[in-house]
Amino acid sequence: MLFYYAAIGLFSFIVTYMISYKLIPRLKRFGIVGHDVNKPNQPEVAEMGGIGIVAGFTAGLLLAIFLSGFNSLQFKMVEILAAIITIHALAFIGIVDDLLDMPQWTKALFPLLAAVPLVAVRAAGSTTINMPFFGAIDLGIFYIIILVPVGVSVASNLTNMFAGFNGIEAGMGIVIFSAMTVLALLKGSMEMVLLFVSMIGALFAFLRFNWYPSFVFPGDVGNLTIGAVLAAGVIIGNMEAAGALLLLPYVADFFIKLYNKFPSSRWWGEYKDGKLYPVDGKVRGFAQFIMKKTNGISERNLVLFFIFLEILIAALVVLIFR
């Protein structure tokens, strides 16, 4: 079985790599670019590279569905299809936002609607969540009509908000999905494993182009998709608490930005002598908090700090839920 999981992850990697390789110059040619605000002179970098992530992730799941036709893999097809619909709906929202700059409230509302397939699946299943130290808690109809759609919206928006530094989205995503894959294997949830190994393969390939200095940004299409895959997986696998704990750095970033009324600019770092400092000395997000506490930090080291922080949290989550 592990061979099939590895094959699916590898296939996702190959598809994402090939599409990203071809996509990046085309995005720049058609002017779909963003400014790398954390660099001197703020160079233009291809935007919407998350299309490659979505393509590779989808390819991995399609391979899994193909293998299921030969009885090589046995899993709950309805749950996988529900997850695919929700995830693709979030990816579509991300594409529209990248191109048309949607109002903030729409990015909170539309994911609630995108969660309908998962609501339908969970309505026919368990309404309990497993909490560490407390065990299973049955939330009844509240879980179905409130927690599932809100969970999808919150997860996708959190991963979309904590972004903007070379490699941070894909790097932290790889850690999160690796930890959840371990828990999924221990629990025996094949549906979670298929979703997460497909995403791991796609993110590893994308990281090749997104690592410092980045050739492409994931854009909202990539960032929303990362959160959507996590939400869909933990809802299907009934491991919502584990997924929530893995998002703690994103939650911290959310509250700092909430305090600053969600700044749309100046959330980045001011580049001086190879290091980043909070713009005007003001902390507007978790990344700027670290910049200030370290009295300046390079972008590469800033991203490595958050990846290492996520590794520590992931290790703790695996220990708690194993």
pLDDT tens across 17-59, in order?
999 999 999 999 999 999 999 999 999 999 999 999 999 999 9
The end-to-end CA distance of the chain, in Å, is 20
| Residue-level pLDDT at 143 | 83
| Residue-level pLDDT at 161 | 95
| Residue-level pLDDT at 123 | 63
What is the Cα–Cα distance from 45 to 35, expressed in whole angstroms? Answer: 6
Q: pLDDT tens for residues 158-176?
A: 999 999 999 999 999 999 9
Radius of gyration for the alpha carbons in the chain, expressed in angstroms and rounded: 19
Proportion of the chain above pLDDT 70, given as a percent: 98
| Per-residue pLDDT band at 136 (split at 50, 70, 90) | confident
pLDDT at residue 197 above 70? yes
Torsion of CA 290, 270, 53, 186, to 10 degrees: 0
pTM of this structure: 0.94
* Domain residue extents for the chain: 2-248
What is the Cα–Cα distance from 288 to 266, expressed in whole angstroms? Answer: 10
| Residue-level pLDDT at 172 | 98
